[in-house]
Structure 1
């Protein structure tokens, strides 16, 4: 009888060890990479990088569930921030393109006017209106053509 109890204890102990070894070790590492982005990985970060262990080996304790929820919230917040940055970058790019288009139209009109036969009146530094001479007209035309080339050609 003692042999049977001893055998039962040995077998159950070996079974417990076998079960413990078959459960995967799920350690999640959290760190900030060299570009300032928050990273999560099952692989350890590069040597010399400070990190934090987010999830310990499986055994599902109540604290781990809270960490998973926190991790999910952090990821959602990062995704939201990234979407906002992307939206702002697209908006800025569109505004720059709109301004470039407007400048192109202005430059084309200036070239057209300067190539015409009508008199060109310009305001000088003192605020007086002055008719420009042919030499000044040529200088202004070159500037306008340069502006048109810059703003109208991508």
Structure 2
């Protein structure tokens, strides 16, 4: 492996962690019931993404969450369907759901972190959850 490949691989892992790390950790902790185990699962996911970047495909986030689920020992198929549905949301709605539900932030914290008014956070959350209910209902 050349130096350039190693640097590119390291950047890939850093980018994945920056974009998805908090949500992956929250999900892994919820599935395992243990933060230390959740951290180990996320490290394993990052290692797999580094070794096999093709797992990222077009739905990177859904693929990463599926990998967490595979490592932990599986979860209902509805989880994968829900993650796929989340990937179809506009980015601003996904960002709000990520902050509120995966990172455990409240509306004020989400508003500050995303740089949008609290009212926009509430509206985006409402619209996103409404859309997810529609998709999951069939």
Q: Shorter-normalised TM-score: what interval?
A: under 0.3
Higher relative contact order (CA 8 A, sep 6+): 2
**Which of the pair is proportionally richer in helix?**
2
**Which of the pair is proportionally richer in strand?**
1
Larger Rg: 1
Q: Normalising by structure 2, what TM-score?
A: 0.25
